[in-house]
């Protein structure tokens, strides 16, 4: 059995590990195949390979787009794409522009609604980040005494802003990933955005609609899933002939999730016989096809 984690974040988006740190931590965790899926950024697809040694874990290019359409919110992962692909770069640029506009409006909202202001050098530093988000603003609020914890800052203040954010359309994200030779995958299908939980009864319709746009897989193993969620996700993937991926959603110090915490090893150990990826054909096929078509070596 191969130890896999295909969903993690660096300081390029809202994680706390720099790219070189996440490589060291992946090594230490014994992960053999990994991907960095920063929000609305493909920078690590070019940076991480320059940090790897011959004996290091296998790296697959990754990204995560925050998406929304008239039916709801989704996070779309992309794997094995060409980071020079024009189509995926267009989606990255759009997602980044939306994210920066949201950050500016959140700062204005905190000032207008609660009187929370920050020195110009702090806001300039915030806006100079690759992909600033709620955790960055929350940490700044804690620093200036507006909240006791980052979590309090987000739940009690930042999330009070009226919802007017612009999002990438999931169809555009999927097409952008496909156009760059990548594999589009629905992240954590039971979770939409924040604490939103998607009922089991809605999963097939959501996944089926995204598949009609070109979706190729779903994240069947995830740190926040219980056994029933994993088993249902695998059932849906098999019915719809979709790839399966496994990811922790590691954010370093911004979350309590550990690298490699995907539920994969636990579920395989509960199945009869020796743990083997052959018991999860959708995941095995994903790894084999990435290896074959993307030139990944292991």
* Residue 177 and residue 123 share a domain: no
On whether the CB atoms of residues 232 and 271 are closer than 8 A, the answer is no
Each residue's pLDDT tens digit, 100-139: 999 999 999 999 999 999 999 999 999 988 788 888 999 9
Identify the pLDDT of residue 39. 92
The CATH number covering residue 240 comes to 3.20.20.140
pLDDT confidence of residue 244:
98
pLDDT reported for residue 296: 57
**pTM of this structure:** 0.89
Is residue 151 located within the same domain as residue 254?
A: no
What average pLDDT does this structure show over 187-212? 89
Same domain (yes/no): 81, 145: no
Q: Of 42-56, 179-193, 282-296, which gets the smallest average pLDDT?
A: 282-296
Asked whether the predicted pLDDT for residue 164 surpasses 80, the reply is: no
Among 234-238, 263-267, 288-292, the least confident range: 288-292
At 86 the pLDDT is: 96
Verify that 103 and 228 share a domain, yes or no: no
- Are residue 192 and residue 149 in the same domain, yes or no? no
262 within a domain of the structure (yes/no):
yes
The arithmetic mean of pLDDT across residues 156-180, rounded, is 92
Q: Does the structure show a pLDDT above 70 at 293? A: no
Q: Residues 6 or more apart from 256 whose CB is under 8 A from it?
A: none
Residue 294 has pLDDT above 60, yes or no: no
Residue 260: which of 223, 211, 297, 220 has the closest Cα? Answer: 223
Closest CA to 25 of 13, 11, 39: 11
pLDDT at 196 over 80: no
Please check the confidence at residue 255 and state whether its pLDDT lies above 90: no
Residue 137 confidence (pLDDT): 96
Name the burial class of residue 81, with classes exposed (0-12), middle (13-18) and buried (19+) by CB atoms within 10 angstroms of its CB.
buried
The per-residue pLDDT for 165 is 72
Using the 3D structure, point to which of 127, 160, 193 is the last residue of a domain. 160
In a shared domain, residues 270 and 228:
yes
Q: What is the residue range of 77's domain?
A: 4-92+169-293
Q: What is the mean pLDDT of residues 283-295?
A: 83
Answer yes or no: do 22 and 118 share one domain.
no
- Read off the pLDDT of residues 85-99 as tens digits, 9 standing for 90 and up: 999 999 999 998 988
Residues 106 and 151 in one domain: yes
**Total count of domains within the chain:** 2
User: What pLDDT score does 298 carry?
Assistant: 45
- With respect to residue 298, please indicate whether it lies within any of the assigned structural domains: no
């Amino acid at each position: 059995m191969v130890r896999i984690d295909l969903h993690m974040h660096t300081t390029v988006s809202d994680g706390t590990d720099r790219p070189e740190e996440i490589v060291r931590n992946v090594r230490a965790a014994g992960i053999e195949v990994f991907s960095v899926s920063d929000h609305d950024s493909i920078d690590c697809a070019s940076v991480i390979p320059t940090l790897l040694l011959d004996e290091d874990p296998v790296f697959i290019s990754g990204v995560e787009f925050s998406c929304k359409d008239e039916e709801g919110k989704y996070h779309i992962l992309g794997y094995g794409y060409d980071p020079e692909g024009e189509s995926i770069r267009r989606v990255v640029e759009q997602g980044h522009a939306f994210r920066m506009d949201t950050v500016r409006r959140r700062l204005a909202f905190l000032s207008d609604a609660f009187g929370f202001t920050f020195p110009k050098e702090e806001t300039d530093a915030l806006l100079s980040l690759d992909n600033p988000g709620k955790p960055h603003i929350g940490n700044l609020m804690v620093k200036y005494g507006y909240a006791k914890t980052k979590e309090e800052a987000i739940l009690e203040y930042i999330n009070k802003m009226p919802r007017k954010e612009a999002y990438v359309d999931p169809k555009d994200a999927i097409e952008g990933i496909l156009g760059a030779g990548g594999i589009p995958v629905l992240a954590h299908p039971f979770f939409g955005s924040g604490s939103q939980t998607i009922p089991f009864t809605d999963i097939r319709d959501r996944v089926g609609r995204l598949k009609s746009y070109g979706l190729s897989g779903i994240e069947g193993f995830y740190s926040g899933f219980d056994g029933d969620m994993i088993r249902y996700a695998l059932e849906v993937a098999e019915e719809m002939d979709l790839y399966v991926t496994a990811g922790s959603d590691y954010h370093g110090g911004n979350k309590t999730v550990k690298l490699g915490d995907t539920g994969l090893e636990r579920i395989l150990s509960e199945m009869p016989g020796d743990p083997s990826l052959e018991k999860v054909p959708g995941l095995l096929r994903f790894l084999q096809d990435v290896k074959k078509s993307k030139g990944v070596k292991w």
